[in-house]
Amino acid sequence: METPLRESNLNPDPIEQFVRWYTEVEKQSVDMYDAMTLATADASGMPSARMVLLKGFDKDGFVFYTNYSSTKAQELEANPRACLVFYWKEVQRQVRIWGTVEKVSREESEAYFQTRPYDSQLGAWASHQSSIIPDRNVLEKRFEELTQKYPENKVPLPDFWGGYRVIPAVFEFWQGRPSRLHDRIKYTKKDETWEIVRLAP
Ligand SMILES: Cc1cc2nc3c(=O)[nH]c(=O)nc-3n(C[C@H](O)[C@H](O)[C@H](O)COP(=O)(O)O)c2cc1C
């Protein structure tokens, strides 16, 4: 499906424009519509990118959850800026979002953690994400021990795990069009308003 991005029907607020596109891919059950690439960079400027899942968004930003000791967390500690990329193949759309990053409140992480399946809760405890482990057994043994330690519905939020919020400063919406004459619309936050420009594809 190809729907042109026209200046005449763009929402002046990029979050509202994102809501419009996100609602469409959600409704159409586009494959992994909630998966996004998260790009960070370390203190030397070396970039790093990986997939994470979008777990919530609103006017304040875009939230994902992870381990606060992971490589991405260390990079965000040194350089609290990130870029997110969504690609929705079925509708030929890409969205890029640049912004600054903050941890979400413990209350927010706690509320989200309690909605996760039991296995995922134990998985968060079991994995010291991004650290070197000697073999897979270590992980499975730890998981087994955790099932003894924490019964279902009684798994506390690990203090090394929680959410981050990307607070957007720039958005780019890309719509694939015939002859590679794609639409690209960029929103940049200027004070409290959003400046909108069209970019060559
Ligand atoms: C589709 C997909 C979704 C993922 N979602 C998450 C996620 O929400 N949070 C997370 O910590 N890792 C997620 N991962 C794993 C990350 O890509 C990555 O391997 C992990 O977070 C460690 O990254 P780091 O060493 O750069 O910190 C996901 C991987 C895939 C393929």
Q: Whose CA is nearest to atom 10 of ligand 1?
A: 66
pLDDT digits (tens, 9 = 90+) for 21-46: 999 999 999 999 999 999 999 999 99
Apex CA 73: angle with CA 110 and CA 136, to 5°? 85
Ligand 1, residues 42, 50, 79: which to mutate, most atoms within 8 A of Cβ? Answer: 50
Q: In the prediction, which pLDDT does 1 show? A: 52
* Ligand 1 close to Cβ of residue 129 (< 6 A): yes
Residue 82's pLDDT band (boundaries 50, 70, 90)?
very high
Q: In the prediction, which pLDDT does 71 show? A: 98
Q: Ligand 1 center to residue 11 CA distance, Å?
A: 31
Question: What is the C-alpha separation between 159 and 170, in angstroms, rounded?
Answer: 31
Specify the pairing of strand 56-58 against strand 61-67: antiparallel
Q: Whose CA is nearest to atom 11 of ligand 1?
A: 66
The pLDDT > 90 percentage for the chain reads 95
Determine the average pLDDT of the residues in 151-166: 97
CATH 2.30.110.10 fits 7-114+160-198, yes or no: yes
Measure Cα distances from 61 to 39, 52, 57, 58, 165 in Å: 16, 15, 5, 6, 6
pLDDT digits (tens, 9 = 90+) for 175-187: 999 899 999 999 9
| Catalytic machinery residues | 180
Domain spans, the chain = 7-114+160-198, 117-156
pTM: 0.96
Contacts of 158 (CB under 8 A, 6+ apart): 124, 125
Question: What is the C-alpha separation between 98 and 100, in angstroms, rounded?
Answer: 7
Q: In the prediction, which pLDDT does 59 show? A: 93
Q: Ligand 1 center to residue 175 CA distance, Å?
A: 26
